[in-house]
Structure 1
Amino acid sequence: MTHHRSIAATAAAGTTFTARRTVAAMGCMLLLTAGASAHAAVCRVSSTGTEAGDGRTWAAATLLHSALARPTCSEIWIQQGTYKPTEGADRSIAFAINRPVKLYGGFAGTETALAQRSADSRLTVLSGDIGTPVVSADNSHHVVVIGGLGAGARAASVAGIYQPADTVIDGLSIVHGRADGASHASGGGLYCNGAGQGSVCSPSIANVSFRGNWARDDGGAVYSLGAAGGASSPGITQSTFIGNAVDGYGGAIASVGQGGTSNPAIAQSTFIGNASGRYGGAIASHGNAGTSSPRITQSTFSSNWAGDFGGALASVSSGSSGVSRPLLSQSTLIGNASDGYGGALSSLNFAGGGGQVAVVSSVIWGNTSVHGVQLDTTYSGKTSVQASILQGGCAAGPDCVGVINADPTPGSTLAGYGNSGGNGTQALLLLRRAQASLP
């Protein structure tokens, strides 16, 4: 009996040892796998990279399209240089973000940490100029597309939820997109697609320069679409929009709630020389059987132009179920123009729309329009202005509280006020006085 027990004990011990060895081996494998996954999470891209490169090192850099297509690349480091959606002539090809991923530009190609890259967004360029240089007619329709185009027909792997925590575009330029196709008429620079029930396009966009993008319908640089039960609320910070244009809505940005919601949050950004043939030289907010409520803070608008309404900003509500309610705070609108109404901004409510523009603690000065008003409420629009500097004071139309008409320019730089949030200059002192006058 003792002998048999010894054999059993030995067998049991052997089994236990084998099990422990197996568990240990599995643990090592898991550690190795976790290490490999962590390593593979960052993929490096360069303009001289190769399809075969795995992106784990700068020496093995891959292509941007390849990195975007690989599920293991959750963070993409892009070396300084210029990148185009295609080397061919197919204008429908864009840099497609079809899953949550983080794009960071500004790398020289030697960095081992994100903090080591350059902060200059001009050094890494995503360009739609795929055809003859300088000729825009053959440019890509969109430079970047998040979540595919349209709704319904999109694959489930494309349509989805893109949130600030997992979808990032940071430290680069997006230039020379031209959205002039039959099904590619909006978002020359970036098409942010929140169309379809449950779809969300709300990436974090920081330190990005949008230049020279054009669209026929909406959003020369950025098209934020919340449609058919979907939502689009990109967060845009410390970015610049220069020389973008559109025939329709929003020379730089169009926020469109079309049976859905679009609520972009725009902060510490600059809009210069953007143009629209119709609504919103820089930004157009359109609630069309849906809701659009962009929040704009500490931003500067200058030298933007609209053919019809809103040199800097136009808010349009279509119908009783369409609501546009932009909020503009701690910002500067100077030197914008409209060939129609609203040198600075226009608020329009069609067919009983209940939209309204709110302006708080901002500077509105030196904006011009053919019809002589800076703030336009021609089509039953509503605008409220609080604790702000408004050239000429508050004329008929807007509702004003704590508004003063005092030239803020002596000893101050208006163009710097919006981005800095005020620095003790004349403009800031006047704004404080206006705020103090609130009941």
Structure 2
Amino acid sequence: MAQTIMPDLENLDSLAARRLVEFTNVAPGDYTRDPVDFWVPGTPINDIPFGTWDITLTLFDGADQLIAQGVAEGVLIDAASVPVSIDIFPFLTGTGTLQFTITFPPAFVDTAEIELAPFDMSPEFFLSAPDDFNVDFATTGTLTIDTTVAAGGYALVIRLFDTTAQNGDGAHAPIVKAVHVYDSLVSTAPPLDLTVAELRSPPAAPSGLNVVQIDLEPTVQLSWIDEANTEEGYRVYRNGTLISGDLGPNVTMYTDTSGAGGVEYTYEVRAFNSFGESVSGAATRTVTLISDVGLEAPLNLAENVALRTNFEWDPGSGSDTLELFIFEDGNLVFSEVGIPGTQEGFILDEANQLNRQTDYTWYVVARNTDFEVQTPELSFTTADNIIRVAPNGGGDGSGWGANAADFQWAVDESINIGPVEIWVQAGTYEPVGRPNGGDAGDPRTRHFALRPNVEVYGGFDGTETERSQRDPVANETIFSGGPVNVTGAGATLQLGGNENNVYHVFYHPTGTNLTRDTILDGVVIEGGNANVGGGTDPTYRGGGMYLVDASPTLQNVTFRYNLAGQGGALGIFGDSVPSVTESLFDRNIGVTRGGAVHISTPALQPIVFAQSEFTGNLISATTGRGAALNFENFSVVHTTKNHFENNHSNGGGGAITVGTNANGIIANSSFTLNEAGDRGGAIYTVGLAVTLQVYNSVFHQNTAQSGGAIGMFRSGQNVQITNVTINQNSATISGGAIWIESGPPRIYNSILWSNTANEGTAIYMAESPTYDADPRNIDVSNTTIQDFGLANTIVFFSGDDVGTYTDVDALDPLFVGPANPVGVDGIWRTADDGLQLALNSPAIDAGNTTLLPQDIADIDNDGITAEQIPIDILGNTRVIGAQVDRGAYEFQ
């Protein structure tokens, strides 16, 4: 059988004096074939038995030194065989000779630096350190180098220097050439002949030359685009004669006043440096100056600067069209062409076109079929990005007083003019329109609406020039859904006289595209009444604000006196993930879910409530839950550094309820005087697949029928309670501190003290077989429980305490001020709180630091969520001694 070898030799074949082809039988494995020495490429090799072979091709030089080798593995030899291709790889070992000649440019070079920088041709090659050749010479010409170096692949780098250069150190850009050096191939290594082009050159030519006759004097204005970065300046030529002298670098305009009407001129603009002038190229234009063509530039130019800039002029005669040009620092930033020649101005929307409070210049060009004339150039400064709003405002928002605008007009106007701040003067604002739609026949569908990227700030008295001067407390800015009579708070709260109020003060159905770049700050929202329908009806949800697929930032907002079937103050649905900070939810009513806030969103991203207060809110239905906050249905909620006081649910969850499939973190918060008619005076978890972490929080004097502080109902819940202080809570039936019918919960590093109930003064395990046939259990570690080990402290419904207890004791934690837990300032979570640990407290260093949860909610705002929680309820360092302390407060 005949077979032809087709090697891929690249440039190596010309170096080979001998080629050896060897055969190794793979299958069937008992054949042999003699090697073919001095084989000629392309000629067939006969008498290879049928089967599978490995074929090796080796190249040697004239000194019989190995140059390169390649192997074709698993080659099938049969009647249908085709030529075999083999990739050849060089052996780069030993040393070889490198020869090259360099031809240098004729000028400006007095030093050459040449370097051989090794690089890998393939991963297995080892290369030696580079060899440097530093060559000084005084004349131009050629340089030949013949040297021995280690075999391998190199980057030949050539740098030229001009010590007399005027622009810096005189270094030219390097020239790089890839070279290969093979072992011992002195006579056959081809020399390199390199010609180095002159790298110093004149700058690039400008482009886009525009030549405009401004008037009939005549005056000609030239402008161009700077395309160079090495120019020393520019020169303007007219009919080949220099008329400008040397202009400076980066100049892009020139005015010629020395021409004559009726004469044709060719203008050229050239960039120059010490190496010469650029070729004018695209920067050449020929024009004929005119003396009288019946074309007149617009007159009486002016601009009216407000939210939009209004350019005004009187049209000149004879123009077909007008063109408006606006420049910033000499650079064109806006143009409008095709303006009718008789039009008396142009209004420019600022959105994405001009920057606010920025200096600009502008002019207008008039055109007819044959000619164009230009107005003089004028200057203006754009207005700020602030729209000022006042009750009954009807102006453009450019100032206070008569210029102040209507609120909803200002918000809607922001869509056209770009991101703005809206400053809202103190007063009461009631909606009159339906910016997001609604039944025009139902006056209760009127509402306000926010828009993307708008920032609304309240608290102004109407004289401020800086946002920092406002005072939202002294200057209440109230967005009202109508009148409301308010009596009582919490359990006694009643809202009346609101029957005709709007359903939502702010209404954002799907499609509003609000992100956290939309900000509402320093305002009051009151009097919404979403009391019609039920279930998921919009008219039954979110009396103060209704959000679907909308995620604004709400900060320093007071929601008060609002009512809804679900979410009296705020209803959050769809893929909404708003952020709520430093806000107050005061005396709002929900019928079934969320007296203040109801959340039902599968967004799977955290909705944030931080540094806010929930006071006096109510759930009115006995089957309802979550007087302050209710979240469920895959909602993820982080509540940190909040205060919950005097909220009342006639059902469960005096403050917070966490429902089916919800995931929550409650951290660094205080709960006091909250009440539930059923379970969970402060917190209630209900339904399947609840995940909840509670830590660094204090519960004081909360009450319920079951679970004075916390109640957990239904199986399959994942609840961990860490470093909390539960003090003086009570249940009329069972679970003075905690009532459990789910789990098993985990209670770590905590203090349960002075809580009361008929059954289970500390903990009651209900163990209902209705929801879980398996015995209930609890896991309690490193925790102080008053009367631990005594009857009626921890009670299991079954009678058998099957809890797991590790390092649990009943030692008095020795609070610094148990008679006044809130401290003399009357404010929880401050330095004088009475439930801090005294110096000799046995709870100091009695926790287990390894049980601290991860700081997923980033309670210290350092951007690090992979660490353990680093601070306590007061913001002090969480671990001071050998171990973390028990309870919410770390002894300092």
Shift of 1:213: 1.7
Q: How does 1:170-181 map to 2 (within 5 A)?
A: 170-181=521-532
Q: Which runs of 5+ in 2 are unaligned?
A: 1-236, 242-264, 270-282, 288-324, 336-349, 359-381, 434-440, 487-495, 552-572, 756-760, 766-777, 787-812, 849-892
1:58 is aligned to 400
Shift of 1:226: 0.9
1:395 is aligned to 763
2:822 is aligned to 415
Q: Give the 3-state SS of the residue equivalent to 2:397 in structure 1.
A: coil
CA distance in 2, matches of 1:336, 1:15: 89
* Root-mean-square deviation over aligned CA pairs: 4.0
1:142 is aligned to 504
2:576 is aligned to 201
Call closer, same or farther: CA 1:360–1:199 in 2, change over 3 Å. Answer: same
Question: CA offsets per residue over residues 136-178 of structure 1, 9 Å max, x none?
Answer: 4444433334x42xxxxx3x3x2x4623xx1333333333433
Kindly indicate whether the alpha-carbon contact (under 8 Å) linking 1:412 and 1:425 is maintained by their aligned counterparts in 2. no
CA distance in 2, matches of 1:272, 1:122: 26
Q: How does 1:210-225 map to 2 (within 5 A)?
A: 210-225=585-600
In the alignment, residue 582 of structure 2 is paired with which amino acid?
N
CA distance in 2, matches of 1:173, 1:382: 42
CA distance in 1, matches of 2:515, 2:445: 22
CA distance in 1, matches of 2:845, 2:631: 33
Q: How does 1:281-300 map to 2 (within 5 A)?
A: 281-287=654-660, 290-293=661-664, 295-300=665-670
Q: 1:310 aligns with which of 665, 680, 683?
A: 680
Shift of 1:435: 6.0
Please say if 1:254 is aligned against 2:598: no
CA distance in 2, matches of 1:407, 1:89: 61
2:42 is aligned to none
Q: How many residues align?
A: 404
Kindly indicate whether the alpha-carbon contact (under 8 Å) linking 1:173 and 1:208 is maintained by their aligned counterparts in 2. no
In the alignment, residue 107 of structure 1 is paired with which amino acid?
F
Kindly indicate whether the alpha-carbon contact (under 8 Å) linking 1:297 and 1:329 is maintained by their aligned counterparts in 2. yes
Of residues 405-414 and 303-312 in structure 1, the stretch that sits farther from structure 2 once superposed is 405-414
Call closer, same or farther: CA 1:216–1:423 in 2, change over 3 Å. Answer: same
Shift of 1:412: 6.9
1:42 is aligned to 386
CA distance in 1, matches of 2:635, 2:685: 13
CA distance in 2, matches of 1:187, 1:381: 32
Kindly indicate whether the alpha-carbon contact (under 8 Å) linking 2:586 and 2:615 is maintained by their aligned counterparts in 1. yes
Q: How does 1:102-117 map to 2 (within 5 A)?
A: 102-117=455-470
Structure with greater strand percent: 2
Q: Give the 3-state SS of the residue equivalent to 2:354 in structure 1.
A: helix
Q: Give the 3-state SS of the residue equivalent to 1:210 in structure 2.
A: strand
Kindly indicate whether the alpha-carbon contact (under 8 Å) linking 2:680 and 2:739 is maintained by their aligned counterparts in 1. no
1:97 is aligned to 450
Call closer, same or farther: CA 1:244–1:407 in 2, change over 3 Å. Answer: farther
CA distance in 2, matches of 1:200, 1:363: 35
1:76 is aligned to 422
Structure with greater helix percent: 1
In the alignment, residue 223 of structure 1 is paired with which amino acid?
H
Q: Give the 3-state SS of the residue equivalent to 1:217 in structure 2.
A: strand
CA distance in 1, matches of 2:676, 2:286: 80
In the alignment, residue 26 of structure 1 is paired with which amino acid?
L
1:427 is aligned to 835
Q: Give the 3-state SS of the residue equivalent to 1:278 in structure 2.
A: coil
CA distance in 1, matches of 2:238, 2:543: 84
CA distance in 2, matches of 1:407, 1:138: 55
Shift of 1:389: 2.4
Question: CA offsets per residue over residues 165-192 of structure 1, 9 Å max, x none?
Answer: x133333333343332212333333434
Shift of 1:35: 1.6
Give the structure-1-normalised TM-score.
0.76
Kindly indicate whether the alpha-carbon contact (under 8 Å) linking 1:174 and 1:211 is maintained by their aligned counterparts in 2. no
CA distance in 2, matches of 1:383, 1:281: 20
Kindly indicate whether the alpha-carbon contact (under 8 Å) linking 1:185 and 1:216 is maintained by their aligned counterparts in 2. no
Of residues 414-423 and 278-287 in structure 1, the stretch that sits farther from structure 2 once superposed is 414-423
Q: Give the 3-state SS of the residue equivalent to 1:65 in structure 2.
A: helix
Q: 1:236 aligns with which of 609, 612, 615?
A: 609
Which of structures 1 and 2 has the bigger CA Rg?
A: 2
Q: Give the 3-state SS of the residue equivalent to 1:429 in structure 2.
A: coil
Q: Give the 3-state SS of the residue equivalent to 1:370 in structure 2.
A: strand
Call closer, same or farther: CA 1:402–1:55 in 2, change over 3 Å. Answer: farther
1:26 is aligned to 332
In percent, how many aligned pairs have the same letter? 26
Structure with greater contact order relative to length (CA < 8 Å, sep ≥ 6): 1
Call closer, same or farther: CA 1:336–1:425 in 2, change over 3 Å. Answer: closer
2:45 is aligned to none
Kindly indicate whether the alpha-carbon contact (under 8 Å) linking 1:219 and 1:252 is maintained by their aligned counterparts in 2. yes
Q: Give the 3-state SS of the residue equivalent to 1:326 in structure 2.
A: strand
Please say if 1:162 is aligned against 2:510: no
Shift of 1:242: 1.9
Question: CA offsets per residue over residues 72-109 of structure 1, 9 Å max, x none?
Answer: 46433333333334599833444333534433332222
Q: Give the 3-state SS of the residue equivalent to 2:595 in structure 1.
A: coil
In the alignment, residue 77 of structure 1 is paired with which amino acid?
W
CA distance in 2, matches of 1:122, 1:360: 41
